[in-house]
Structure 1
């Protein structure tokens, strides 16, 4: 594979790090406005000018940041703040459009955040109006047996034209939330009775919350917490909202990250963070508290001997600063305080659940680098046997690739580093020693990552030739090639599993395997994220990802929007209308470029694929796990939040019971068909699920048993791989050129012109 000087990011989350410097400055003063305490710093002004210049001059679309684009950004900013159209009145939107529509772009170019801040403060004001109305209503008895309705998903609904209409909706929203909490409490108490009557079902976990609060108290507490979190939003986070919206208006994968989020980006790309080595989540019994779930073996927290699983975090003090009470804080806020540079210290105030406040312990911990070993490539061997075909079970290697990660900074500085290609090479070497009969590469839920890494990965499976084509905004095309002289670390049978959450670099991998006829691709059509980003981590504040390239299959077809269509369809567990590139507001368009000359290693005929699809459909209609997942898909469609829902607790309870009965029936059919004991009732089923989830959450990732519904995809992929027989190309060793291939616009697959 040719060495590249730039690290391209191919991920749904645009993860990775590249050392690009951007420091243009336009010394224009920010217009003075009422910004309600927002103190604009020189760094924020500089960052805003930098981001505006990037969009104006360097984005793939070559779209200037002009007046028209400014209006588009403004409209999206308003929608992003209030996507459900319940907070801003139509008069608010009209005012913002009239006041800022023609100058929003110019303001950004000058580093002037005042328009965005003014709109944000109106959003905060409207939110507080809702919070205050809700708190007032929750101090009274709310009628839950009304005859009116509510539309929960108002994205396509018009904004309210009057305060009266808005307040009426808020009243109905409060009633619906109370109704949902009341029904949830009924379910919770029924589950807790199962726990008390059958202690063995808890698997040793303390799962009885015994929440004595009324639904009004629970919702009041939730709203108070949300209001406090909104008041704690910092200037950098408001700036992030404004600038990120500007970038998203160009395409879904150009992003701005404030310093806190920039840290998260680095963690995703390198599988490494600097912190204390704990995992946290809201406490089951009281979500106001954050609970420590597990400790990383050998991590800073574990080494103190004073931090224990189940500890509740009630206070945090950063190095040399005053202890802050963090009860009611979100996990994101708490993570932001805990993480920091290696060698610095953080002090936690913790106590065990059900212990008095006086028993709280104060523990100082020195932060260190935490390697997230569990997040990398995993491999294992399974055995599958086809009835009537295999006399003995076939040994199948399974490679689970969570992302195409790379610690780019460590590599650039000459340090030892982790990467997906290194870990995959080791995994393949281990599997080759196991005398496997085939390999399943599982790319489900893989968001992508580094272009260099996916190219190296493909080189382990493909002999030689082009792997992916990259085109810039000037039409220049660069081809990534595997140039290792025809070496293949693994040359046996293989199959790739994808789903709607397989994105970007995952799509490059799946497309190349499919185009070379190297193996089958099975599952669901992928995300359709066919763009490449450069990451800029030398902005004045935070970092940004900017789309500057699109990538194309070696056949010339883009994966943008259309994604990679599998050779064999398996049950799709995601909703196409709300997930993936095709559901985004401003996605880049699908198109094609010229084919790169390449030599297929095999070819699955249309007859072979038709037979495989037919055989798989038969198995999916009889496999308990696939039948269960297909039934759940149908049950989910029973509730449409874009349609009016009656605000009557009796009616709602009856609808929920209907959904519960159908879900339980689906689960019990799965249990019986799998040779397991069915659940006696809904409450017993829910109690068992809670207990299993709690037990799994406390296990290390590599110790958790495979979920049967997940394993069904792996085994079905293995069956398909073993049944498939690719034919050699029409002329052995013949290169396919531009004239011999065309792209089917419907399936986005290459078709050889005979």
Structure 2
């Protein structure tokens, strides 16, 4: 029998898009068509399929038993109401008593009644909140109170009484009105500055001219949220329940309803079927969706009738009636715009500041859109050296380990990170570079095949990564090309807290082989591999079935990859790494795989490099600026009580503004740039720059100095480390258990991994 293998997904991005429908604890809800929530045969089948996968196929070998069902139920409460402000403790107790012992068994039978009943209770409490908020926001609100509020209640218990709950709601709304009032003060100051100095706008339409009161703006937001909630389909409610079940096993097992499955495909392949526009909520009125840019040569651009800044009023999909999408979320708008190649979609659009009667109807034929700007980028920079010729350093920016698997399987031309990197290295080799910086910052991971092929471009030969399944079987991905290296020069890898999964495999292998330095911040710590399944009745899923390990035997799970040299952590205090997630897999070790390091940095060398870098980081204006921003961010802590007095809050904000402005002006002075005279001028400049950059392709945007400084420092460290590696001895090679299975090239089994259907 032919041995089957599969394409493993090594990405942390899944968490970001995995069906988090109810992301706020104070969503409001209106009466919805109950028929929309009737369970369909496809939903029942999908539920049984997901339950079976968890029960029998997850890495943990944890049966979906009564105890696990109770854990899933509690997490379902938390995902619907993460801040614990909607469900009362009596709700939790009642629903747990009613469904706790049978929750797992219901899922295995495809019975969604418990999940729907809990959602209905959530909807009821949301309605109550909305009614309360509507009444409160129409009253005279005291903005100079003597009490306070703790905004982050994730670890707090649900309220035990309606009175305590309503008291919190009132304080929460008062805080929002205070925050909105102060924000509007800043907006009006900027509007005045723009009108008096129109050149500051850089030609962008930045004047808000907001005439609504803070209470009116907040009411509008709540109305929009309630309408979005009322439009949720049964598939999306099922998605939240099933995704909760998978996330109770580990943070990277996910279920995606059809719409979200399309998003997963876009991330992994850099390709989608649509019209070629980027959209966002209109900054002057988020009820409207604004077209920001058009993809050159894309379907929308080819019509000549769609313009940047157009507001989308309505969408008619595939010959259906036009839907009014004012007040819809961008996710909902995207779902209507996307569709199969060759089908038509009609957009009703208008330019800002024009009446609805001026709207245009534009018919666009969908086509495949390649996201060219999202792939590997390469360039050459020069680094000044004392009394030496400037060093020419190649820079590789790798956004993800992407692969268009479906196109490859179909024998079509396809994009992948290894193909793009090979082309980039060939181009850089022709430019006689003195070293290479590989930038993996914010890289969420991707395909295991691709990271293995990537490493083969840099390493002579040997093991690259080890993978263990839930039965203890270990596979070793190995580079066996006779010692060929496309690039064999000096190199350094930059990581940060958002470098995950496949990025960690790459950085760990480069570090273990002594092939180059790893600098930056400790990585995410996502050391698990997922299989992608689209054979479900509805949507798709990822399921954790393996963990990966360094060739030295240690897992990157939880611990991540610790850099050889620490640079400023721009995510200081953030909690999106594996160590901060619920239900993460544990760190452990397996046997070492045999490998021979190509270089070895001594502890003395690394200590010297860290000392030298620390001196530069304490004097470089960009690093000093980033350190100051970390200190300023730490002034805000939602776990601490915040006073509900607008004067106190204004004083706090002025303090934050003053410190931020001072940090920016110190940096600008060091760069020989004029200082900003006040906070309003500074904010206006930032806003104009952001708007201007948003209309440029990613590859055309000027490099930000606070980002580029990491590239320069990494290159400097690489050059400082040149020649300091200790010689590699024969004894450095380690022997492995000979029974370990070795995998040199993995062919994808189409039955186990097909790309998600691109349903709209």
Q: TM-score range by the shorter chain?
A: over 0.9
**Structure 2 counterpart of 1:662:** 659
How far off is 1:13 after superposition? 2.4
**Structure 2 counterpart of 1:736:** 734
The yes-or-no answer on 1:727 pairing with 2:725 is yes
**Structure 2 counterpart of 1:713:** 710
Q: Is the 8 A contact 1:146 1:647 kept in 2?
A: yes
Closer, same or farther: CA 161–728 of 1 in aligned 2, 3 Å: same
How far off is 1:736 after superposition? 2.5
Q: Which moved more, 1:676-685 or 1:34-43?
A: 34-43
**Structure 1 counterpart of 2:71:** 72
**Structure 1 counterpart of 2:743:** none
Query: Secondary structure at 1:101's aligned position in 2?
Result: helix
**Structure 2 counterpart of 1:7:** 7
**Structure 2 counterpart of 1:700:** 697
The yes-or-no answer on 1:282 pairing with 2:291 is no
Instruction: Measure the CA separation in 2 of the matches of 1:670 and 1:123.
Output: 49
How far off is 1:199 after superposition? 1.4
Instruction: Measure the CA separation in 1 of the matches of 2:87 and 2:133.
Output: 17
Q: Which moved more, 1:141-150 or 1:705-714?
A: 141-150
Once the two structures are superposed, residues 396-454 of structure 1 have per-residue CA deviations (whole angstroms, 9 ceiling, x without a partner) of 00000000000011111111110000000000000001110000000000000000000
Unmatched tracts of structure 1, length 5 or more: 16-33, 740-754
Instruction: Measure the CA separation in 1 of the matches of 2:732 and 2:223.
Output: 69
How far off is 1:201 after superposition? 1.2
Once the two structures are superposed, residues 34-56 of structure 1 have per-residue CA deviations (whole angstroms, 9 ceiling, x without a partner) of 97751111110000000000000
Once the two structures are superposed, residues 637-695 of structure 1 have per-residue CA deviations (whole angstroms, 9 ceiling, x without a partner) of 11111111111111100000000000100010111111111100000000000000000
Query: Secondary structure at 2:468's aligned position in 1?
Result: strand
Instruction: Measure the CA separation in 2 of the matches of 1:216 and 1:36.
Output: 34
Q: Which moved more, 1:377-386 or 1:194-203?
A: 194-203
Q: Which moved more, 1:612-621 or 1:726-735?
A: 726-735
Q: Is the 8 A contact 2:69 2:102 kept in 1?
A: yes
How far off is 1:5 after superposition? 2.9
Instruction: Measure the CA separation in 2 of the matches of 1:254 and 1:35.
Output: 30
Unmatched tracts of structure 2, length 5 or more: 16-32, 738-760
The yes-or-no answer on 1:430 pairing with 2:427 is yes
How far off is 1:630 after superposition? 0.5
**Structure 1 counterpart of 2:315:** 316
The yes-or-no answer on 1:484 pairing with 2:505 is no
Once the two structures are superposed, residues 582-620 of structure 1 have per-residue CA deviations (whole angstroms, 9 ceiling, x without a partner) of 000100000000000101000000000000000000000
Instruction: Measure the CA separation in 2 of the matches of 1:733 and 1:710.
Output: 41
The yes-or-no answer on 1:530 pairing with 2:530 is no
Superposition pairs of residues 110-149 of structure 1, within 5 angstroms:
110-149=109-148
Closer, same or farther: CA 453–623 of 1 in aligned 2, 3 Å: same
Superposition pairs of residues 137-536 of structure 1, within 5 angstroms:
137-386=136-385, 388=386, 390-536=387-533
Instruction: Measure the CA separation in 2 of the matches of 1:727 and 1:306.
Output: 60
Closer, same or farther: CA 732–722 of 1 in aligned 2, 3 Å: farther
Q: Is the 8 A contact 1:36 1:121 kept in 2?
A: no
Q: Is the 8 A contact 1:256 1:545 kept in 2?
A: yes
Instruction: Measure the CA separation in 2 of the matches of 1:46 and 1:726.
Output: 61
Count of residues in Structure 1 that have an aligned counterpart in Structure 2? 717
Once the two structures are superposed, residues 540-586 of structure 1 have per-residue CA deviations (whole angstroms, 9 ceiling, x without a partner) of 00000000000000000000000000000000011455120000010
How far off is 1:298 after superposition? 0.9
Instruction: Measure the CA separation in 2 of the matches of 1:175 and 1:525.
Output: 39
Once the two structures are superposed, residues 94-113 of structure 1 have per-residue CA deviations (whole angstroms, 9 ceiling, x without a partner) of 01110111110000000001
Closer, same or farther: CA 4–394 of 1 in aligned 2, 3 Å: farther
Instruction: Measure the CA separation in 1 of the matches of 2:268 and 2:36.
Output: 35
Give TM-score scaled by structure 1 length. 0.94
Give me the CA root mean square deviation.
1.4
Instruction: Measure the CA separation in 2 of the matches of 1:496 and 1:652.
Output: 43
How far off is 1:195 after superposition? 1.2
Q: Is the 8 A contact 2:315 2:322 kept in 1?
A: yes
How far off is 1:727 after superposition? 2.4
Query: Secondary structure at 1:500's aligned position in 2?
Result: coil
Query: Secondary structure at 2:279's aligned position in 1?
Result: strand
Instruction: Measure the CA separation in 2 of the matches of 1:192 and 1:392.
Output: 50
Closer, same or farther: CA 425–484 of 1 in aligned 2, 3 Å: same
Query: Secondary structure at 1:558's aligned position in 2?
Result: coil
How far off is 1:735 after superposition? 1.8
Instruction: Measure the CA separation in 2 of the matches of 1:136 and 1:588.
Output: 46
Which of 617, 620, 623 is residue 620 of structure 2 equivalent to?
623
Instruction: Measure the CA separation in 2 of the matches of 1:640 and 1:129.
Output: 29
Q: Which moved more, 1:198-207 or 1:53-62?
A: 198-207
Once the two structures are superposed, residues 304-323 of structure 1 have per-residue CA deviations (whole angstroms, 9 ceiling, x without a partner) of 11111111000111111111
**Structure 2 counterpart of 1:743:** none
Instruction: Measure the CA separation in 2 of the matches of 1:179 and 1:13.
Output: 35
The yes-or-no answer on 1:566 pairing with 2:563 is yes
Query: Secondary structure at 2:13's aligned position in 1?
Result: coil
Instruction: Measure the CA separation in 2 of the matches of 1:425 and 1:128.
Output: 56
Instruction: Measure the CA separation in 2 of the matches of 1:256 and 1:346.
Output: 28
Q: Which moved more, 1:206-215 or 1:580-589?
A: 206-215
Q: Is the 8 A contact 1:14 1:533 kept in 2?
A: no
Q: Which moved more, 1:282-291 or 1:373-382?
A: 282-291
Query: Secondary structure at 1:496's aligned position in 2?
Result: strand
Give TM-score scaled by structure 2 length. 0.93
Instruction: Measure the CA separation in 2 of the matches of 1:149 and 1:737.
Output: 62
Query: Secondary structure at 1:221's aligned position in 2?
Result: helix
Instruction: Measure the CA separation in 1 of the matches of 2:199 and 2:450.
Output: 47
How far off is 1:14 after superposition? 4.7
Query: Secondary structure at 2:389's aligned position in 1?
Result: coil
How far off is 1:728 after superposition? 4.3
How far off is 1:392 after superposition? 1.6
How far off is 1:357 after superposition? 1.1
Q: Is the 8 A contact 1:35 1:114 kept in 2?
A: no
Q: Is the 8 A contact 1:470 1:551 kept in 2?
A: yes
Query: Secondary structure at 2:402's aligned position in 1?
Result: coil
Q: Is the 8 A contact 2:602 2:726 kept in 1?
A: no
**Structure 2 counterpart of 1:746:** none
Query: Secondary structure at 1:322's aligned position in 2?
Result: coil
Closer, same or farther: CA 10–734 of 1 in aligned 2, 3 Å: same
Divergent runs of 4+, >3 A:
34-37
How far off is 1:217 after superposition? 1.0
How far off is 1:733 after superposition? 8.2
Instruction: Measure the CA separation in 2 of the matches of 1:663 and 1:53.
Output: 52
**Structure 2 counterpart of 1:30:** none
**Structure 2 counterpart of 1:102:** 101
Q: Which moved more, 1:37-46 or 1:371-380?
A: 37-46
Q: Is the 8 A contact 2:461 2:481 kept in 1?
A: yes
Instruction: Measure the CA separation in 2 of the matches of 1:733 and 1:280.
Output: 58
Instruction: Measure the CA separation in 1 of the matches of 2:34 and 2:549.
Output: 45
Instruction: Measure the CA separation in 1 of the matches of 2:591 and 2:549.
Output: 9
Instruction: Measure the CA separation in 2 of the matches of 1:14 and 1:141.
Output: 44
Closer, same or farther: CA 359–35 of 1 in aligned 2, 3 Å: closer
Once the two structures are superposed, residues 461-488 of structure 1 have per-residue CA deviations (whole angstroms, 9 ceiling, x without a partner) of 0000000000000000000000111000
Query: Secondary structure at 2:712's aligned position in 1?
Result: helix
